[in-house]
Amino acid sequence: MWSMVLGLPVGILIAVLILPVYPPGFGAYALIVLLLSLAAAVVCLRYGYPALRALRQISVLLAACLAGVGLGTFVEQRLNPWGLQPGTTYYLTGTVSGVPKWGKYSRRYWLETECVGTRADRCDVFQNFLTLLWPVVVELTVSNPKVELQPGQTVRIQVQARSSRQDASPAQFNVARWLRTNHVVARVKLAKSSPVAVLSEPLVSVDRLRADLNRYLATRPSLQGAGGSSGLSPYPVLLALVTGDRALMEDRHWYVFNRTGTTHLVAISGLHVGLVAAFVTLVTLPLFRRWRWLTARYPASHGALILAWGAALYYTALAGFALPTQRALIMLSVFVLLKLTGKARQLWFGLALAFCLVLVWDPVACLSLGFWLSFVAVYLILWLIGGSVDKPSIARQWTTVQLGLFVGLAPVLLWSVHSVSLVSAGTNIIAIPVIGFVVVPLTLIWASLWTVCPDQVQFLLQAVAVITDGLLWLLEMMASGHYSVWSVGQRGFGSLLLALLGVLWLVSAGLPGRIWGWLLMLPLLLPQVQGTGLYVMGSGAARLLVHDEERVWSISDSHWPQPVARWQSSLLQHWGIGWVQGGLGYHNSAALWLAPGPVITEFTLRVDGIGSRHLSTATYHNPCEKAHWRIGDTEFQRYSAESYPAQCAVGFEFNHKRWLYWPVQGVRAQLAIQEQLAGEQFDMLLLMPGRGRSTLPGLLTLLAPDARLITMKALSANDQEAVEASGIPVHVVKAHGYYHEPLP
């Protein structure tokens, strides 16, 4: 049994994580090798050589691994992104799943696809023959305010491929991997004048209830002006805990949760499902013990476990059967099954079986970081308390688990997201029981009764909101500390392996020399200066950024009202530079919110005694305001025309090269500023192509013979011909990725 349980997930991991990296023929060769190995093992067993009977387990392991490779390859091919042609209209039939994501000008729906074709009577692009397993999802964007789809509806619509923007940045989020883990194979938009044919509509839909809860909680006022202790509204948190929808969460919410290590509390996962099951078990077990008919035939714990599993199933359904909750339900089902069959002591086999079943149910789950974190966390819990000889108190066990999870998960978090909360152990010791045993159960009771008697259970929602508000106040206090978060920047895989070895050394009872465990973690923990140089990045407008040991400055569109833009914050975290909201000094902030065009943001850095870097001040400049100014060793020069004071180009020198930043829009403004540049010569030109007639040929005369042109998107045909005639190399950020030039 162990061979089957271990071989199947290994094969799936090979198919999903390893085979796509290698050339197309590699998978076939690997399958041939596995088949030959299996055939050799079967032949040896068939003829019964006693010395070769030990190969029985190996043959089972190879067979299971082969089956895993086949299953993983099938699902991987099934969920491959579709290559839809831009401008072509497709006919899509699918069922609306989940709740819509509301934007400022559009709505996004997820549709489990049944048929896609180039004609209404054909499914030549895709046809789903497996409706219950491994759903194929399409993300639909609807801009027409008159069209509103309802969860659970099966519709036939006309769609077109939608181009998606992705920031070209060293810290860019891997959107393609995120889409793959959520089974999204295409992003489309509703075609203009497309009719929406509703083929079927369910009488009862959990997603309808989720959508109604979303609309109701979205209109609830904040408690800040009604005696609330926190500056954050608790209702977005309650919505995330009930339905899994985090659309109402503000940046301030995420800032507090990230700095306190409690982000997992607002993402429904195995923790929430397990806590709900534990709560139901604790409440109902005394009642089942008084039921004599049951206790005369079965242990009382069996009835409590079955009822707890039903409550977990209801919670999973209310969360929309999101993939993390499905994994959690599978893990809980394995535990309940082991308890009912009297094999609860086989914890390690149960963990391996849950790992196997989760991967069979969703092979691409291994692409998600949350998948690995959940199993690593369970492994650490079993390692810490599973083999205890004595029985410590519940408080001691809880403290041991939280400290062990902090130490054990820190290397993975530092390597993947480049930061870890230093107060997470303390905050989770308090927050997890409050969320799991008070907030979530009471909120689920309110949500269940709200559809029947909304006014009568209003007090329950208000009580839960007050409790959540108090918890948010505590988290805000913990997040305000200067060293609440430890950031290290990007690290290599070797440092992660050393740190994981150090973690095993630290959490293993009885091993001497714990100091060596901490020493093995130092390469991952100690701060390093990295990522210095000049970057050109962005998705639409250009973002130019220079990073050195003392400061970080950038030229971009205004990011008001955020003093630190999201893309800037992601880069700072990627490089291991920390900052605290409220602890940053701002200078000339009027230039940020009054700038008619691009704005220059200058961050100065301070270094503490152990080499960790933090933001000290933020200064903002309007590049069109002064003719000359300086940031550090970099001198800037403005090029503008009197008739167009709000438009200007910026010149500066970096790495012994003269750069020209050209955000000017409008033909007349461009021609007027080009007259001011007569006689100048530049080595690098950063161009943002605009609408209307191009003036690029005039700019090319300002470039040196060995100059380079950087543009955000592809040039027009005429401009491309002019560039090719001049022999100047072109770097297109949208096609080639961000541009980086290291410090000299």
Return the pLDDT at 690.
65
- Look at residue 261 in the predicted model and tell me its pLDDT: 92
pLDDT band at 711 (very low <50, low <70, confident <90, very high): very high
pLDDT at site 29:
55
Note the pLDDT tens digit of each residue in 374-422. 898 888 888 887 655 566 778 888 888 899 899 999 999 999 888 999 9
Q: Is the pLDDT of residue 523 over 80?
A: yes
The residue among 714, 720, 717, 719 whose CA lies nearest residue 734 is: 714
Which pLDDT does position 23 carry in this prediction? 55
Query: pTM for the complete prediction?
Result: 0.84
Distance CA 138, CA 188 (A): 7
* Cα(567)–Cα(671) distance, integer angstroms: 32
For the segment 104-141, what is each residue's pLDDT rounded down to a tens digit?
788 999 999 999 999 988 898 999 988 778 899 999 99
pLDDT at 508 over 50: yes
Residue 370: count of CB within 10 angstroms of its CB: 16
Q: Which runs of consecutive H residues, i.e. helices, occur in 435-584?
A: 440-450, 458-479, 493-507, 514-525, 566-574
Are 20 and 76 in contact, with CB atoms under 8 Å apart?
yes
Which 8-state DSSP code applies to residue 435? Answer: I
Determine the Cα–Cα distance for residues 226 and 224; give it in Å rounded to an integer. Answer: 6
pLDDT in tens, 544-583: 999 999 999 999 988 888 889 989 999 999 999 988 887 8
The larger pLDDT score, comparing residue 26 to residue 483, is at 483
Tell me what pLDDT residue 229 has: 66
CA 665 to chain centre: 35
Predicted confidence band of residue 227 (pLDDT cuts 50, 70, 90): very low
Q: What pLDDT does 427 receive?
A: 94
Q: pLDDT band at 481, cuts 50/70/90?
A: confident
Q: Using an 8 Å Cβ cutoff, are 476 and 230 in contact?
A: yes
Task: Tell me whether strands 613-621 and 577-578 are parallel, antiparallel or unpaired.
Answer: parallel
Mean pLDDT over 209-225 rounds to 76
Q: Which pLDDT score, from 0 to 100, does residue 224 have?
A: 52
Which run of H or of E encompasses 533? strand 533-537
pLDDT at 225: 47
636-662 mean pLDDT: 92
Q: What is the pLDDT of residue 507?
A: 80
Q: Is the pLDDT of residue 310 over 90?
A: yes
pLDDT mean over 476-497 = 89
- Find the angle CA(189)-CA(190)-CA(192) to the nearest 5 degrees: 120
Query: What's the confidence (pLDDT) of residue 383?
Result: 83
Three-class secondary structure assignment of 42-78: HHHHHCCCHHHCCHHHHHHHHHHHHHHHHHHHHHHHH
The answer to whether 439 and 550 have CB atoms below 8 angstroms apart is no
CA 453/CA 446 separation, integer angstroms: 10
pLDDT score recorded for residue 548: 93
50 pLDDT above the threshold of 70:
no
Tokens in use for 498?
A: 């050393």
- In Å, how far are 88, 588, 629, 659 from 636, measured between CA atoms? 47, 18, 5, 10
Q: What is the mean pLDDT of residues 612-621?
A: 92
Residue 312's pLDDT is 93
Query: Tens digits of per-residue pLDDT, 88-106?
Result: 999 999 999 888 888 778 8
Q: Measured between alpha carbons, how far is residue 493 from residues 115, 415, 669 in Å?
A: 42, 8, 50
Q: What are phi and psi of 292, to 5 degrees?
A: -65, -35
pLDDT at 40: 55
Cβ–Cβ under 8 Å, residues 611 and 525: no
Q: Check pLDDT > 50 for residue 335.
A: yes
Neighbours of 426 (CB within 10 A): 17
Identify whether the C-beta of residue 674 lies closer than 8 Å to the C-beta of residue 699.
Answer: yes
Distance in angstroms (rounded) separating the CA atoms of residues 251 and 249: 7
Average pLDDT over residues 691-702: 81
Give the percent of the chain with pLDDT over 90: 41
Angle at 461 (CA atoms; ends 456, 465), nearest 5 degrees:
155
Has residue 52 got a pLDDT over 80? no
What would you report as the CA-atom Rg of the chain, rounded to the nearest whole angstrom?
29
**Helix residue ranges per DSSP H, 219-299:** 235-243, 251-260, 270-289, 292-295
Nearest to 552 by CA among 468, 488, 631: 631
* pLDDT for 304 beyond 60: yes
